[in-house]
Amino acid sequence: GAAMASKLEKASNLFQQHFSSSASGGGDDDDVTIAVAPGRVNLIGEHTDYTGGFVLPFAIEYSCVVYGQGKLTTSSSSSLSSPTQASLSFVSAQGSQELVQLQITSESTPPEKSSWTSYVCGTVFQYLVDLPQSSHLELKFAMASDVPLGSGLSSSASLEVSIARFVEAIIGTTFAFSSCEDDTNHAKIRAMRCQKAENTWCNSPCGIMDQYISSAATKGGLLMIDCTSLEAHQTLMASTERPLLVVANSNVQHDIGGGEYPIRVKQCQTATTALQKVNPQIQNLRDATLEDVEQAKEHMKDDVSYRRAKHVVTENARVEQTKAALEQGDWKQVGELMNQSHASMRDDYEVSCREIDMLVEIAQKQPGVYGSRLTGGGFGGCTVTLVDKSQAQNLVETLQKEYKAKTGKDCDPFQTQPAQGAHILTL
């Protein structure tokens, strides 16, 4: 579509500007590789991935494009082995558009303080450590993305996954997956590497949902991901009078990097320890029932552990129910579960905020709306609403108008549908 054409144009212009040799008098697009990876919306299953639970996200049409060239040189003389090296030159259409030039090796350690370039280097590093010793990977590329930054639509996962897909295309499948020959699920392995990049290079204890859906989504479907087994099942919405999905952006970012997310991760660990006292079988919150949670209440120091565990356990159950309801076309039930999910995130998990609650309340009052909730990590970001086709336009207009009146901010509502995951674009 038009959005992809515009990203491509930005990336290819930047690439020409920085990398085409003036001697040859301009662009040679013949051997460029173009990798694309999308952002995502999570329909339901929030803050369940890092305790091995269930999630039900889909990819959206906003994506990150990596446009570039590269080559891998493997050394034949194995007598003098040195670390594997990567020379990276890249530029992003976002921000200052300055050329970044960095060297990393298979022995590099993450920088003390991470920046946006850590997402790039951390991802390349995951592939570098599996390449033959003494090889040299050279990459030059330009990036353009239209995933709104820091809005809970996984701009960082789309960046990591598009870089990963680009690297795989440059080094080839054999070198990219040599260390995991018996596992042919490349999308899953890519997701694991990108999550590891974010965990180790970017100081973020995120789960695997965002990288997984960006990597593995297929057009038209949602994925129910089991974050323990890392198996994913495609979920299609029944075709009966299929409603639409509308996303609204609160345009607030509370507490980004302020540590609320890592605090939730720790609180889940504390709750799990208490649960293990009543049921030693429980390894992760995913294994607990609501009954376990009620029983473990007395072993919990405070109400917080109890409420955190209750959210996760009930949310996991809601994901399974939502999957079934989607496949049966029971939109009322899907909407009801979305509303329950939101209340649970707001009251028990405490990851919502005033602006998000406003968007949800405005949406829930509109005709034709089945349900609405916060999507993503929270403390700002976006909401997702399931709405009857005939009322979608009214919803978009009302959200925009009422949110503006209440907060002075736009919420840029847009309609979306499940898009394709990471892929190589051929022109």
Query: At residue 392, what is the residue type?
Result: A
Min dist. Cβ of residue 227 to ligand GAF (A)? 9
**Segment interacting with ligand GAF, rule: CB under 6 A, options 63-71, 184-192, 202-210, 246-254:** 202-210
Q: How many residues comprise the chain?
A: 427
The count of residues interacting with ligand GAF (CB under 6 A) is 11
Q: Which of 210, 287, 348, 388 is catalytic?
A: 210
Encoding tokens for residue 184?
Answer: 């042919």
Contact call for residue 210 and ligand GAF (CB under 6 A)? yes
Contact call for residue 47 and ligand GAF (CB under 6 A)? yes
CB 40 within 8 A of CB 154: yes
Among 36, 121, 209, 275, binds ligand GAF (CB under 6 A): 209
Min dist. Cβ of residue 370 to ligand GAF (A)? 21
Q: CA distances (Å), 149 to each of 64, 251, 294, 309, in order?
A: 11, 10, 39, 30
**Segment interacting with ligand GAF, rule: CB under 6 A, options 106-114, 204-212, 289-297, 329-337:** 204-212
Contact call for residue 46 and ligand GAF (CB under 6 A)? yes
**b vs e for 36-45, b when ≥16 Cβ sit within 10 Å of the residue's Cβ?**
bbbbbbbbbb
Comparison of 199 and 279: residue with beta carbon closer to ligand GAF: 199
**Segment interacting with ligand GAF, rule: CB under 6 A, options 41-49, 71-79, 214-222, 229-237:** 41-49
Comparison of 106 and 204: residue with beta carbon closer to ligand GAF: 204
Min dist. Cβ of residue 104 to ligand GAF (A)? 24
Q: CA distances (Å), 279 to each of 189, 287, 291, 304, in order?
A: 32, 10, 11, 20
Q: CA distances (Å), 315 to each of 299, 304, 311, in order?
A: 22, 16, 6
Q: CA distances (Å), 157 to each of 43, 128, 187, 211, 352, in order?
A: 17, 19, 13, 5, 21
Contact call for residue 318 and ligand GAF (CB under 6 A)? no
DSSP H stretches of helix in 202-353: 209-216, 260-278, 290-296, 303-328, 331-344
**Segment interacting with ligand GAF, rule: CB under 6 A, options 115-123, 205-213, 214-222, 289-297:** 205-213
Encoding tokens for residue 198?
Answer: 């974010």
**Segment interacting with ligand GAF, rule: CB under 6 A, options 11-19, 47-55, 274-282, 334-342:** 47-55
Among 49, 168, 355, 388, binds ligand GAF (CB under 6 A): 49
Contact call for residue 207 and ligand GAF (CB under 6 A)? yes
Query: CB within 8 A of 293, min separation 6: which ones?
Result: 275, 306, 309, 310, 313
Distance between CA atoms of residues 246 and 60, nearest Å: 11
Comparison of 86 and 206: residue with beta carbon closer to ligand GAF: 206
Contact call for residue 54 and ligand GAF (CB under 6 A)? no
**Segment interacting with ligand GAF, rule: CB under 6 A, options 46-54, 305-313, 353-361, 389-397:** 46-54
Min dist. Cβ of residue 50 to ligand GAF (A)? 6
226 an active-site residue?
no
Kindly identify the residues of this chain, within the stretch 107-166, that bind ligand GAF according to CB under 6 A.
Answer: none
Label residue 256 exposed, middle or buried (CB < 10 Å: 0-12, 13-18, 19+).
Answer: middle
Comparison of 10 and 47: residue with beta carbon closer to ligand GAF: 47
Min dist. Cβ of residue 207 to ligand GAF (A)? 3
CB 345 within 8 A of CB 357: no
SS (H, E, C) 357-421: HHHHHHHHHCCCEEEEEEECCCCEEEEEEEECHHHHHHHHHHHHHHHHHHHCCCCCCEEECCECC
Comparison of 68 and 381: residue with beta carbon closer to ligand GAF: 381
Nearest to 93 by CA among 155, 25, 181, 164: 155
Min dist. Cβ of residue 425 to ligand GAF (A)? 25
Tell me if residue 27 falls in helix, strand or coil. Answer: coil
Distance between CA atoms of residues 342 and 374, nearest Å: 6
Contact call for residue 206 and ligand GAF (CB under 6 A)? yes
Min dist. Cβ of residue 154 to ligand GAF (A)? 6
- Lay out the site mask for ligand GAF across 397-416 (x = CB under 6 A, - = otherwise): --------------------
Handedness of CA 17, 21, 23, 29 (dihedral sign): negative
Contact call for residue 330 and ligand GAF (CB under 6 A)? no
Kindly identify the residues of this chain, within the stretch 359-388, that bind ligand GAF according to CB under 6 A.
Answer: 376-377
The helix (run of H) or strand (run of E) holding residue 118 is helix 116-128
Query: At residue 120, what is the residue type?
Result: V
Catalytic residues: 210
Write out the residues near ligand GAF by the rule CB under 6 A: 42, 46-47, 49-50, 206-207, 209-210, 376-377
